[in-house]
Each structure stands twice: as C-alpha cells, then as structure tokens.
Structure 1
Amino acid sequence: MTNSKDFFQNYSYKNFLIHHYHQVTSTNDLAKELLNNRQIFANEIILSDIQTIGKGRMNRQWQSPLGNLYFSLCVDLSMINSQFLSTLPLFCGIVLNKTISNLSAKKLNILNKWPNDLLIENKKIAGILVENTTINDNQKLAIIGIGVNINNNPNNTRFASGNLSEFDLKISNLQLLEKFLDEFDNFFKIWEKFGFKNLKKIWLEKAYQLHQKVTINLGKDNQQNLFTGIFNDIDEYGNIIIIKDQKNFTISVGDVS
C-alpha cells in the first residue's frame, strides 16, 4: 500500500497525531490497514500530499493530485449512540463548511450538497467519505476521509468542480487540516451528546437546492436509479425528505445530482 520512502513525518496537534505521507493509494485504505494492525488508534490521522487511488462514495474515484488536502481521521465511536452514526457525514460537512467560511476574507456562499459534498458557486470543492470499522473485536471506529480542492480540481466530472484558490483562499494542506480539527473539537462534543438534532438547523441553513426540485441518484449511474421531487427537509438521522406527488419520501442512500 505504501512504503517508508513515502512517509514524511509525524505531527502532534492538540489531542491528535498526524501521520504525513508524500503519497499513498488511499488515506482511508491506509488508515483501515493500520487500525486493523493496531499501528494507529483513535484521534490519529493519515494525511497525504497525493493519492493514487483516491476514493469517493459509491466506489467513485476521487482525483488527488499534488496541491490539495487529503486526510483520514480515526474517531472512536464506542460511546456514541448508534442512531447518530448515519449523520456523521453531514456533521463533518458542517465542520468543514464552518472551517472554510472562517478562513475566507470575503463572504463565500458555501453550500452543503446532500449528503457529503461542499459547493461554492455551484462547484464542488470538497467531499467526505465515512467508513466504519471494528478493532479489538468490539471497539467501533469511524474513518472520516475528506478531500478538499485547494489549488486545483479535476475536469470532466459528473458535477462541476472548483478549488479554493479560485475564490482567493490561499492555504496549505496542513494549515487547513489544523483549522478543521479546531472546529471538529468544538462541534464533536455537541454531536456526541445530542446527536444531529441540535445541528440540523445549521446544516439546512446552507443546504443546496432546499425547497427546490432535485434529482437523487439512488446508487447507480443510470436513469432507472434516479428519483426526482422537491427537497423538503432532512430528518434527525440525516435522511433526505423529498416531496413527490404530494407525498413525503424518506431516502437514506444516494446523492443530490
């Protein structure tokens, strides 16, 4: 998966330990491997300058050239109510949205695209992939993988993409990661204790296409797996609620396309 020459150095930041690599296949895959081998633990992070096989949701590739932020944060879920877990991608979206908003000198309209993307001016600038794993037979952890386009972005993507530099936000990957961790610490205490219900309003205030007609891709990129209706709400479990034919439909898996 990786080798010693790809490893750069370790950093300690607050109660987090960051393992910085020049290049890996996937930060999530490496984090999972090291967790299973008991080489890293909760509150440890895999940060890489490049991913050769970056991953997005629904087995999509996340293009990961030099100049952007790619990291995976390992979080202990042992004390978390299992009902809260489905909202973790939306929770991380709130944290990342807040992080980037606070860094920008001008007021950017950063939107949350259900369930796991961030947009600026209808361009995707970040994505989140959460994968759960178990170690030591019963310790549940989440691997939170996040990619942010800082200096460049892919072309010819399903959804238009952009990067932070085109919106006059200049920052290194490590600086952006540290700012994210500051916000993560603040919001995690709320999510851990109360779940998503106290954060739902914050997410909806920046929701892409709220109360407008949307199409949900239900998991496969073909016309038979598309569901169209009015984006009405999300529930406390992070599911999107769509109105179609004057009926409410609750959808748990998919994305707004």
Structure 2
Amino acid sequence: MIGEIHRFDTVTSTQEAARLLISEGRAKAGDVVLADSQTAGRGRFGREWRSPIGGLYATFLLEDGTLLPLSAGVAVALALERFGLKPGLKWPNDIVIDKKKLGGIIVEKVGDIAVVGIGINLSTAPLKGSTCALEHGVMIDRDTLLEAIRAELEAEREEGEVLASYLSRSVTIGLRISVKRGNLPPLFGIARGIDEEGRLLVETGLGIVPISSGDCFHLLSRGG
C-alpha cells in the first residue's frame, strides 16, 4: 500500500508529526512522514535520539501485525544490505554494526494504524556508542534508502520467514543478558531464541521465561 510522503524540514519528531497528521485526517496507512532533522527525536522508553541533518528520520504508517517490531527490523537490515552494510539486530529492534548503534526502530499505535519510527545514522554518529554508515565507508542517499526500506516493509513475508531472517541477523541470541521491565527487578539469563509471537526466550535458573517487551542489555560473557 504505497501512499504519500509528507516531507518536513524540521519537526519535534516524525512520530509526533505522524500522530497529528492522522488525527487531522491528513495521513493514512501507507503514508510516510520524513524530516531533515528532529528537535526532540526519541527512541524506546522516551530516550533521546539526536537527529542532525544528514540522517534518515522517518515514520511509516502501516497496518498492524503480530511480528511488526521484528519484521520492521528485518526490513531495515535488508535495505541496508543493498548498500553493502552488514547490520545486526539487537532485540527487540536496534540496528547495530560492530556493537555500535547505527539506528533504531520504535513501534506505536494510533487507532488501528501502526506508527513505525525509524532513525538511521548516515553521515554522523551524534551519540556516544553510536556509529554511522559513512564510518564504514558507505555513502547512502537518504531518499534512496527510504524507498528501499519502504519496499522491504511492503514485501509479503510469512511469519516463519520473518523469524528466520531476524534470527540469522540477531546479535542477542546466545548472549548473557539482563532485561529491565518497567518497575520489575531486572531479569538475568541467556537469550535462547524468539518464539512465534516475537517474544525473547530467556533461560534462567527457573527455566525459560518469554519476554514480550523490555530493555535488553548485553553482558560481557556468552552463554553456555
């Protein structure tokens, strides 16, 4: 479902701009909100995402789906691979290269529309511990990448294919991790897989615990 691209020079965030456009009846599923920069870009859990000119900052309006957070990660990875990059996926939806964050994805809902925000560092790495495509010798035109991501998001994939594609690019599976879940105590264990609902399966001393959402931290040693 290819729709309109709503282009802006600067917004607080493309997520907020998308919400406003939907509420005003000016945007629908299939549309994209694109900005040159964001003054208050944010990631998951409200974290700051610095957004200077030179990156990709877009929100895609999609029909909702069970594995959408994972399929969005797969779509972004496949799009970046077209340009010669080899990104990994850190659960649930960080895009990384060599353990540094290249980009991120945030999935929210407005009514029955999934609002999927995607930020990719192309020419600068504004946050500590981040990286950009240019640091890896790859110059990417923003609008060309936008269309590549859009095409991958529109591609029809069976749930099994999504899971297999995600797992083959996962940098989380097999690692010792901790997962912060709201006000609950952190969960420590080994990431063993992802189930058919997209939940991370964490092996703990009490058995396998499925995690549907949370903040995942990679610890130093690998699991046994």
Normalised to the residue count of structure 2, the TM-score between the two structures is 0.91
SS in 1 for 2:135: helix
- Answering whether residue 210 of structure 2 is matched by residue 254 of structure 1, we say no
- Equivalent position to 1:234, from 194, 201, 204: 194
Residue of structure 1 aligned with 2:134, choices 155, 165, 170: 165
Cα distance change, pair 209–15 in 1 and its aligned pair in 2 (3 A)? closer
Deviations 1:89-129 (A, max 9, x none): 1110000001101211xxx4421100010110111101001
In structure 2, the partner of 1:63 is 50
Which residue number in structure 2 is paired with residue 125 of structure 1?
102
> What residue number does 2:120 align with?
148
Matches within 5 A, 1:68-87: 68-77=55-64, 84-85=65-66, 87=67
Write the distance in 2 (CA, Å) between the matches of 1:242 and 1:150: 33
Matched, 1:207 2:170: yes
CA–CA distance in structure 2, aligned partners of residues 91 and 173 of structure 1 = 21
Task: Select the residue among 27, 35, 39 that pairs with 1:48.
Answer: 35
Structure 2 equivalent of residue 99 of structure 1? 79
Aligned-partner residue type, residue 120 of structure 1: I
**1:230 & 1:236 partners in 2: Cα distance?**
18
Q: Is contact 1:219–1:254 with CA below 8 Å preserved after alignment?
A: yes
Contact 1:35 1:41 in 2 (8 A): yes
| 1:225 to partner: Cα distance | 3.8
8 A contact 1:219–1:253 mirrored in 2: no
Q: How many pairs align?
A: 217
When Rg is computed on C-alpha atoms for both structures, the one with the higher figure is: 1
Q: Distance in 2 between matches of 1:129 and 1:26?
A: 12
- Cα distance in 1 for residues equivalent to 2:25 and 2:204: 48
Tell whether the 8 Å contact from 1:50 to 1:65 is kept in structure 2 after alignment. yes
How far apart are residue 155 of structure 1 and its match?
2.9
Distance 2:122 2:116 in 1: 19
* Counterpart residue identity of residue 44, structure 2: R
Equivalent position amino acid for 1:168 in 2: G
Query: CA, structure 1 residues 218+154, in 2 after alignment: closer, same or farther (shift >3 Å)?
Result: farther
For the 8 Å contact 2:91–2:172, the answer to whether it is kept is no
How many angstroms does 1:219 deviate by?
A: 3.6
Taking structure 1 as the reference length, the TM-score comes to 0.80
SS in 1 for 2:52: coil
Query: What RMSD in Å do the two structures reach over aligned CA positions?
Result: 1.6
The aligned residue for residue 13 of structure 2 is 26
Q: Secondary structure at the match of 2:4?
A: strand
CA pair 226-24 structure 1, distance change in 2 beyond 3 A? same
Distance 1:50 1:253 in 2: 28
Identical positions, percent:
30
Structure 1 residues without counterparts, runs of 5 or longer: 1-13, 78-83, 135-139
> 1:75 deviation in Å?
1.4
